[in-house]
Amino acid sequence: RNADEHISGLSDKAVRDPLTGLLNRRAFGERMVEELDRVRRYGETFSLILVDLDNFKSVNDSLGHDTGDQVLAWIGRLLTELTRAADVPFRIGGEEFAVLCPATPSGVARTVAERLVGVVSEAHPPIHQELQVTMSAGFSACPDHGDSQEDIYYVADQALLRAKDGGRNQVCAPGSEA
């Protein structure tokens, strides 16, 4: 029994980000494959939301990496609290996060992304310094915007880049202008 628990703990560490407690990039890739299989098998849809904290390097540079880590952990908690139980948030890079939303069309993904961006911009992280955190988001849906992991990610990432280029603290839809 102890060996099983140990193996289970190691397996969890392999797919979970230790700072935020969210699933990591490796788990993200695995879940994307599962969702794509579900779309092909049952004709369902899913959406992908990508979010990136705005100007996060300045937080680390001015307030230190410990504070930056506290902000990232806080974002992880918010993403978990503000999404449905079926939605799965991931930390896929430094300050980049993803939310997979099963059985979710793109219009609902937009609403979820707008809520996440809005709540983060209005809330204050639980740190000792006064700090406003904002993030930008882009989204895509399968099969509307592609039927491969690469296509779905690319479309959401391009929308995210438009949100950042268009002034940050906003959501951009696939193919939309900021």
Give catalytic residues, as residue numbers.
95
- Look up residue 23 and give its two tokens: 């699933």
Q: What is the DSSP string of 3-58?
A: HHHHHHHHHHHHHB-TTT-SB-HHHHHHHHHHHHHHHHHH---EEEEEEEETTHHH
Question: In whole angstroms, what is the distance from residue 139 CA to residue 101 CA?
Answer: 10
Question: In whole angstroms, what is the distance from residue 129 CA to residue 56 CA?
Answer: 15
Question: In whole angstroms, what is the distance from residue 112 CA to residue 48 CA?
Answer: 11
Question: In whole angstroms, what is the distance from residue 158 CA to residue 147 CA?
Answer: 16
DSSP state letter for 169: S
Residues β-bridged to residue 100: 48, 88
Contact partners, residue 166, CB within 8 Å, separation at least 6: 172, 177, 178
